[in-house]
Amino acid sequence: MKKILFSLIGAFISIAMLNAQSRLPLKIYVEDMPAPFPANAKVQMTNKISQMLTANGIASTNIYNNFFITVVANPVEKQVVNGAPTQIVQELDFNFYIVDGVRKIVFSTYSTSAKGVGSTETRSYLDAIKRAKISSSGAAAFIAEGKKKIIAYYEAEMENIFARAKALAQQKKFDEAFYELNGIPTECSQYSASLALGNEIYQSYVDYTAQQNLAQARSAWAAEQNSLGATIAGKYLAEILPEASCYNEAMELYTEIKAKVREDWEWEMKKYQDGIDLEKLRIASWQAVGVAYGENQPDQTVTMNWIR
């Protein structure tokens, strides 16, 4: 199992970000925009959707899941205005969608149009994207409706999600179990229950990985009871968290090694500082494991032709 270390500062930064925005499993997806759109129009359109979500208190995710927010842009009219220099005016229609990509269901839509002006066709397209209105009441209603339906999906699926997470944990697939729980929106009625289950699985995860690290540390020290063996053992001992069930055993081994190699050994066992909110730290830690699992999954092939 892949080892993942989390600093206390990083964990609490992630908590602050989650508190500031709603956690919603909604991935931004913009298809490659065909000619006559310029190559960088896709990036600008993706940034535009991100701004729309942020303006409505939503933190999008880069992790593949069922739910996408996307846009289809269509050229409507082009005018060439003679002058010095010549200006091109380009009008675009923007149709935004929040969808369940697996079940192929459109949850909500929002349409707007904008005119862009530039000395080239590329600049006029990019200017139109820049001017697309994303802070209107219509855009807010679009986000709210999509959010409502995503939450409804999770409310209906909650028990199945819990069951899958427990089954994965029993198979020692902890990363995947956390990934299952990570998608649950903060507004769900059983969100607190999902955190409690995540903490329960996290304790099993901590104990399991700690036992593995302790076994490796013992093996390294038994093989070479010198500074080299101590260095290898120390790398494993440094991975063991204070809340692990075998932490005291690890401390005994640490003390034994320290007494023998003395100042030649620079490794320390993990300790929590006074005042640390361990509950929040646990939540941030297992959520980070789930995020890392999702981000490391292969890219999925997505097609949105069905929404047109």
- CA nearest 50: which of 61, 37, 64, 38? 61
Each of the 308 residues of the chain gets a pLDDT tens digit; together they read 334 444 433 444 444 444 445 678 888 988 887 777 888 889 999 999 999 999 888 877 767 678 999 999 988 988 888 877 889 999 999 999 999 988 899 999 999 999 999 988 889 999 999 999 988 899 999 999 999 999 999 999 999 999 999 999 999 999 999 999 988 988 999 999 999 999 999 999 999 999 999 999 999 999 999 989 999 999 999 999 999 999 999 999 999 999 998 777 788 888 877 767 888 889 999 999 998 888 887 766 677 788 86
- What pTM does this model have? 0.81
Coil, strand, or helix at residue 75? strand
Spell out where the chain has E strands. 22-28, 58-61, 67-81, 87-100, 105-118
| Polymer length of the chain | 308
CB 64 within 8 A of CB 297: yes
Q: Edge-to-edge strands of the sheet including 67-81?
A: 58-61, 22-28, 67-81, 87-100, 105-118
For residue 216, CA distances in Å to 146, 222, 234, 238 come to 49, 10, 10, 12
Coil, strand, or helix at residue 36? coil
Distance CA 202, CA 178 (A): 8
